[in-house]
Chains A and B, each alone.
Chain A
C-alpha cells in the first residue's frame, strides 16, 4: 500500500502538470478562466499560445495553436494542438494530446454599450500524445463541461464560470480524480477607445481548483486531490482583429491531501487573429 502511494504520488505529481490549456482563448474571455465569448458566424480564430507551469517537480511548457470556427453567431467549435516540453528530474518533449471543443451561447442580453451573455462549453481531450517518460499527457480520454456568465461594458467587465472535468482511466489503471474549476474575474478598460484604436483591458482573476482523490486499480491514492486557489492578473490588448492576451497565475491558498507538490506559478501568452 505504501509502495502504491509512493508510486501513485509520482504519477499524480506528473499528471497534475498536464492540466494547462483548460479553457479556449476566444476573444475577451479571461486568460485562465472561462468566459461566454463565441465567434461571429463564418469567422475563423487562430490563436497560437504558450502556457508554462513551474512546480517543485519541474517545469512544463505547452506551445500550442487553437483553431476555432463560428458555426453560427452563438455557436463555435475548435481544435487545440500542442507541443509539450517537460523538464525536471527527467525530460521529455513531443506532441501533446489533441483537444476538441465546442461552445454555445444560449443567452444574450444587449443594451447600449453593454453585453451580458451565458454559454455552455464541452471539451474532449484524446490520448494522442507522443508518449515517453515523463508522460506528455494524462494517458486517458477526458471530458470537460463548463458554464460561463459574462458582463461586458465600455468600462467594466466581470465573469463567473464553473467547469467540471471528468477524467478517464489510463492503461496503468490510474483513475485521476475529477476536477472542478471555479473562476471569478473582474476587468476594467481605463481609457475607452474608438473602433480603430488599440484597446487595453486589465483583468484580475480568482481561480479555484478542487480535485477529487485519484484511484489506482480501485484503491484510493492518499497523496492526491485537494484544493488550490490562484490570483491571476492579466491583460488583454487588441487592435482591430488582432489580440494579445497574457497573465500569470499565482497560488495564494492550498489544501492538498497528503504529500503533494504545490504549483509555483503558471503563465499564459496568447496571440489571436480573427479572420
Chain B
C-alpha cells in the first residue's frame, strides 16, 4: 500500500513537471512598416518589454517583422498593437500568432 501511494505521488509529481514543461505561450509575429534603422526601433523594444509576460523579442529589420513570445493568459490585441507601434513611431500592418510550448519559447 505504501508502495502504491509512493508510485501515485511520483506519477502526479512527474505529470505536474511535465505540464509545466509543456505550458503554452503564444508567439506573435507582427508586420511593421517604417523599420529602417535599428536605433530607431529601440522604442518598440522599450514598449513591448513593458508588457507583463512578453519575452524573446526579436526585430527583423529586413523583413519588417517584430516577434515576441507572450505568456499564457496575456493577449496582444490588434488595436493595442496599432497604438503601441504608432507611439513608437511606426506603422503596424498585421500579425500572425501560434501556440508554442514553454521549452520552444525559451530556447530561441
Enumerate chain B interface residues (CB-CB to A < 8 A).
33-47, 58-64, 86-91
Are A194 and B40 CB-contacts (below 8 A) given A73-B88, A113-B64? no
A110 to B37 alpha-carbon distance, docked (Å): 13
The answer on a CB contact under 8 Å between B59 and A28 is: no
Contact across chains for B87 and A72 when beta carbons are under 8 A apart: yes
Which of these, A37, A42, A108, A238, contacts B38 with CB under 8 Å?
A238
Contact of B33 among A110, A189, A199, A240 (CB under 8 A): A110
Contacts of B87 on A, CB cut-off 8 Å? Answer: 40-42, 72-73
CA distance A218 to B91 in the complex (A): 53
A105's closest neighbor in chain B, by CB?
B89
**Known contacts A73-B89, A192-B61, A195-B61: A112-B33 contact under CB 8 Å:** yes
* Subset of 13 A-B contacts with CB under 8 Å: A27-B40, A28-B37, A40-B89, A72-B87, A110-B90, A110-B91, A189-B37, A192-B62, A194-B38, A195-B38, A241-B39, A241-B46, A274-B39
Please tell me the number of chain A residues within 8 Å of chain B, measured between CB atoms: 38
What are the interface flags for A7-49 relative to B under an 8 Å C-beta threshold, 1 for contact and 0 otherwise? 0000000000000000000011000000001111111000000
A6 to B64, CA, bound (A): 60
Q: Select A43's contact among B33, B36, B46, B58, beta carbons within 8 Å.
A: B46
Q: Is A252 an interface residue (CB 8 A)?
A: no
Contacts of A70 in B (CB 8 A): 43
